[in-house]
Chain A
Amino acid sequence: MKKYDVVTSISYPKKGAMGKTGSWRVFKPKLDKNKCVKCLQCWVFCPEGVITKNKDGTIDIDYEYCKGCGVCANVCKVKAIIMEREAEG
């Protein structure tokens, strides 16, 4: 990866180039793995790519970068993801 010695807004492709965007959240997607049917709709639709698909078909949400937009909860047909207001602090 070539690094440029210049002061302007350039970003290199890497995880969280903008910093820990998880701090932007008001609502948090809470996943109930028992309800999940592994349809992967949330994984497809997550606009930030913070949902990862595991080998066994289950999913995990990376809360360090999830902005809490709620798209995953909206597309989940079995209500395995619900949006919960996060506690302060």
Chain B
Amino acid sequence: MKVMIDTGNYVAAKAAVMAKPDVIAAYPITPQTTLVEGIARYVATGEFKGEYICVESEHSAMSACIGASAAGSRTFTATSSHGLLLMHEMLHWAALARLPVIMCNINRVVGPGWNIWADQNDSIAQRDTGWIQFYCSSNQEIFDTVLQSFKLGEHKKVGLPVMINYDAFVLSHTSMPVYVPEQKEVDDFLPSFKPLWKLDVDNPITFGNIIGPAYYEKVRKAMQDAHEAAKTLVPEIAKEWKNKFGRYHGDLVERYKCEGAEYILMAMGAIGAESKVAIDNLRAEGLKIGLARVRTFRPFPAEEMIKLGKQADLIVIDRNISIGSEGALFNETKASLYNKSDAKVHGFIAGLGGKDVTYQDIQNICKKVINGKAKDFEWYGLEGD
């Protein structure tokens, strides 16, 4: 075990290479670029021994990973924002073909206007592709989640691609100390890739061929079952990691000071880490408030939400907006509580376009709700407010 002090992107590159993928195909885009550079550095030093394919677009990057995964290779890629959007069709392909491609997506604004800062609308737009989605709040969590994702996605009960999301610049370009285990320890944790199926000249098959409605429905249902299985496996793998390496970031949801809380704040990504400071301060003022930081947006932890809703009123901060509706986490939290709890749920939109959301902002949001001054759904801190 050694400590590496580096940015989220270099840390993610280190974790990816330690998983020993056979193929990495990637195309650079701000703010993911340094992750691709990090991989290139490990190619140069010989630490990464797999195939590194430089492609001409993100659509090709995902296609190359799909082809490699279909041939039985462990695969990794990374992207951001418009790159993720260009992959959209192939994201469906990877998931429907049950290929566990592992990908980091650095959450960045979708343009126009041109803006490279943190915003979750890029990955929220991929919500329905069948990918498992993690949202990380620290560099250590990025490192640990990348390696856990290989184990989860490749698990025989799952067999699905996994997206590890984290905030542009706030995490991708910020250096933090990260514990890095020895390669042998990682090898012990992560078994070699045993594909659910593979293209094999000695056992010829085709995939993605035409199927009728009845079979197609079964394919969809099987994906849904795999997400249900992941709800159990995410905590199992997180606990195994904790036993092995002593670090734990929660499972589907990370709870922080929720004991006896009458209000529970919810957020995803870096805002979830900032929220802990806010919770400490509010608790010091005697307010009964805790934090539930959602780590997996897919599968959506509906059962956890019901537990939270039975205990407290909820305050949801979304760094995304489904235009014409509301924040994605707010929306789905309410849906999972329907007929199960009568908790009040308040939604806030904050931090779009990379706007800073400080612990002071988060305290303001919480106090507005506690003092009964909040609407059901509102935008926090718009200019002129």
- Which residues from chain A sit less than 8 Å from chain B, CB to CB? 1-2, 4-13, 17-19
Contacts and interface: CB of A to CB of B under 8 A. Distances in A.
Nearest to B223: A7
B114 interface: no
Interface stretch (B79-87, B208-216, B240-248, B355-363): B208-216
A76 B333 CA distance: 65
Nearest to A18: B210
B212 A19 contact: yes
Contact of B205 (A12, A18, A19): A12
Given A4-B196, A4-B197, A19-B212, A10 B96 contact: no
Interface residues of B, number: 23
A10 B219 contact: no
Contacts of B196: 4-6, 8
B205 A8 contact: no
A8 B206 contact: no
A5 B195 CA distance: 11
A89 B173 CA distance: 67
Contacts of B97: 8-9
Given A1-B203, A4-B197, A9 B209 contact: yes
B159 interface: yes
Nearest to A9: B211
Given A8-B96, A9-B209, A10-B197, 11 more contacts: A6-B159, A7-B98, A7-B218, A7-B219, A7-B222, A8-B197, A9-B96, A9-B210, A9-B216, A12-B204, A12-B205
A17 B208 CA distance: 13
Given A6-B159, A7-B219, A13 B204 contact: yes
29 contacts: A2-B200, A2-B203, A4-B197, A5-B196, A6-B98, A6-B159, A6-B197, A7-B98, A7-B219, A7-B221, A8-B197, A8-B207, A8-B219, A9-B97, A9-B208, A9-B210, A9-B215, A9-B216, A9-B219, A10-B197, A10-B205, A10-B209, A11-B205, A11-B207, A13-B204, A13-B206, A18-B209, A18-B210, A19-B212
Interface of B: 96-98, 159, 196-197, 200, 203-212, 215-216, 218-219, 221-222
Contact of B207 (A10, A18, A19): A10
A9 B205 contact: no
The 9 closest A-B pairs by CB, nearest first: A7-B222, A4-B197, A6-B196, A11-B209, A2-B203, A8-B98, A9-B211, A6-B197, A11-B206
A1 B200 CA distance: 11
A3 to B, nearest CB: 9
B206 A10 contact: yes
A2 to B, nearest CB: 5
Nearest to B225: A7
